[in-house]
Amino acid sequence: MQTKTFGNGGPAVSAIGQGTWYLDRGDRQSAVAALRRGIATGMTHIDTAEMYGDAELVIADAIAGLPRQELFLVSKVLPSNASRRGTITACERSLKRLKTDHLDCYLLHWRGSYPLEETVATFDELVASGKIRSWGVSNFDVDDLDELHAVAGDGKIACNQVLYHLQERAIEHAVIPWCERNGTAVVAYSPFGHDEFPSPRSKGGEVLQSIADAHEASARQVALAFLTRAPSVLAIPKASRAEHAADNAGAGDIKLSAAEIAALDK
Binding residues for ligand NAP, rule: CB under 6 A, are: 19-21, 47, 109, 138-139, 161, 189-195, 220, 236-241, 244, 247-248
Residue 49 or 95: the one with the smaller Cβ distance to ligand NAP is: 49
Residue 161 or 228: the one with the smaller Cβ distance to ligand NAP is: 161
- Shortest distance in whole angstroms from residue 258 CB to ligand NAP: 25
H or E segment and range at residue 46: strand 45-47
Residue 85 or 132: the one with the smaller Cβ distance to ligand NAP is: 132
Alpha-carbon distance of 8 to 152, in angstroms, equals 13
Instruction: Judge contact between 182 and 170, C-beta under 8 A.
Output: no
- Shortest distance in whole angstroms from residue 128 CB to ligand NAP: 25
- Rounded to the nearest angstrom, the gap between the alpha carbon of residue 40 and the centroid of all alpha carbons in its chain is 18
Residue 80 or 128: the one with the smaller Cβ distance to ligand NAP is: 80
Q: Which residue is nearest to ligand NAP (CB)?
A: 19
The DSSP bridge pattern shows strands 45-47 and 157-163 to be unpaired
Determine the residue type at 144.
D
Q: Mention every residue, 6+ apart, whose C-beta is less than 8 A from residue 69.
A: none
- Shortest distance in whole angstroms from residue 188 CB to ligand NAP: 8
Classified as helix, coil or strand, 185 is: strand
- Shortest distance in whole angstroms from residue 200 CB to ligand NAP: 12
- Shortest distance in whole angstroms from residue 220 CB to ligand NAP: 4
Q: Among residues 8, 22, 7, which one has the least CA distance to residue 237?
A: 22
- Shortest distance in whole angstroms from residue 152 CB to ligand NAP: 19
Alpha-carbon distance of 140 to 121, in angstroms, equals 18
Residue 156 or 244: the one with the smaller Cβ distance to ligand NAP is: 244
Question: How far is the first Cα of the chain from the last one, in angstroms, to the nearest whole number?
Answer: 27
